[in-house]
Amino acid sequence: MKKMVAPSLLAADFSNLSKDIEIVNQSEADWFHLDIMDGVFVPNISFGIPVVEAVKKHAQKPLDVHLMIVQPEKYITAFRDAGADLLNVHYEASPHLHRTVQEIHNAGMKAGVTINPHTPVALLEDIIEMVDLVLIMSVNPGFGGQKFIEHTFHRVEQLRNLINKKNSKALIEVDGGVSTDNSAQLYEAGADVLVSGSFIFKSDDPVQTISELKK
């Protein structure tokens, strides 16, 4: 497994965002994770396209944008123009997922599909060969700082088996409640990328915490 870490800026200090962006730049983190919430698909509103654009100006690593919005296909080029390198759309919000993935690729980005904790991994059988990444939610999306759902380990194993069976190159990313209590076991189950927000930014030494999450 790759053992990559994508700090979620949802837990950063929005009154001093450039400081937290610099922490991620200086750390062993691989990507920035940006959570876009619309108050419709999920019961919370976070930030939108202008903030992605602002982060892009300072970020020295790729932007992994997690869209928790209805009709994500409407905003593909807008997020590309704002600086997204990888665009994650929810399976549950995408009735024409095959077309949406094609459009993300045509816009020049990597395409990720995200699944909520209740969505069966097996539903990805006919899309897994064309996506670059699957993001498994290990909490119900909408908020940072929630408790990790233990059943996620089993879902990561199921997805790793599906990826192997289909000879897919998709990476497995896990998001929600990730800490050093579960990181090693997640990599062992087959995860490549771990998203972590509050565990990193509420710690005394975020740079060190990011290093610990890569072990």
* Positions at the binding site for substrate: 8, 66, 142-145, 175-177, 197-198
Q: Which two tokens stand for residue 172?
A: 């497995």
Among 29, 196, 206, 209, binds ligand 5SP (CB under 6 A): 196
35 given a catalytic annotation: yes
Taking CB under 6 A as the criterion, the residue among 155, 175, 186, 206 binding ligand 5SP is 175
- Per-residue mark of binding to ligand 5SP, 112-141 (x: CB under 6 A): ---------------------------x-x
Which one of Fe ion, ligand 5SP, none interacts with residue 182, CB within 5 to 8 A by kind?
A: none
Examine residue 183 and tell whether it contacts ligand 5SP (CB under 6 A).
no
Q: Binding of ligand 5SP at residue 144 (CB under 6 A)?
A: yes
Which H or E element spans position 153?
Answer: helix 152-165
176 in contact with ligand 5SP (CB under 6 A)? yes
Q: State how far Cα 41 lies from the chain centre.
A: 16
* 175 lines the binding site for Fe ion (CB under 5 A): yes
Among 177, 189, 190, 206, binds ligand 5SP (CB under 6 A): 177
Active-site positions read: 35, 175
Q: Point out which residues bind Fe ion (CB under 5 A).
A: 35, 66, 175
